[in-house]
Amino acid sequence: MELSKQDIEEGRKLLQKSREIKDLWTILVREILSGVPQNIETCYERCCREILAVSPEKINEESVISILKKNGYRFPKKKGEKLAEVAKIYFKNNGDRLKLIGRLAYRIGRKSFDLILEDLGDDDAVAVDRHVARFFNLESDRKIGIGNKTYDEAQRMVRKLAREKNEKPAVIERAIWRFMKKS
């Protein structure tokens, strides 16, 4: 498979759009709730809007689960627990980006963490999902996700392709994601 200049331009636009959001709490909520295959434009957006209407210090597991269930979100308990935990960390650190990033790294998973870094402006961050792994013919399991070895290998391959294309790794990752979603 080969990325065209148009694919890379679409990847650049996707990355720019995700970076339009400057508020860290909004980025965290959107990332934790993302990746759900149901009617994403309605359920996902409604859930994000309702959760973001509540200040982080007032977020708790029950309130998040209630919002998610009401809107028909899949896996409300799992996401509710994670979002409530992140809200506590966010509030405890007063939204300080550096402190938060350090404390969130191991709590939210590699892909989510790398996506947040990309959205915050890290051009070298590479978030690997099943689409990116599949682009490079790497194994991923729909039930358990992508193992560390595959994740690391996919990141190396994205960075190598970025050097070959003289482009930022985050742009190439988004271009691959977009290309594979269309395939």
> Check: CATH 1.10.1670 for 1-19+122-183?
yes
List the chain domain ranges.
1-19+122-183, 22-120
Identify which has the larger pLDDT, 58 or 95. Answer: 58
Contact 45, 67 (CB under 8 A): no
- What are the residues facing 141 on neighbouring strands? 145
pLDDT at residue 7 greater than cutoff 90:
yes
Eight-state DSSP code of residue 175 = H
Q: Do domains 1-19+122-183 and 22-120 have the same CATH topology?
A: no
Into which CATH architecture does domain 22-120 fall? Orthogonal Bundle (1.10)
* Closest to 121 (Cα-Cα) out of 171, 77, 52: 171
Q: What's the rounded mean pLDDT across residues 60-82?
A: 87
Is the pLDDT reported for residue 37 higher than 70?
no
Average the pLDDT over 49-57 and give the result: 86
- The pTM of this model reads 0.81
- pLDDT for the residue numbered 72: 84
pLDDT for residue 140: 65
134-174 pLDDT tens trace: 999 987 665 556 788 889 999 999 999 999 999 999 999 99
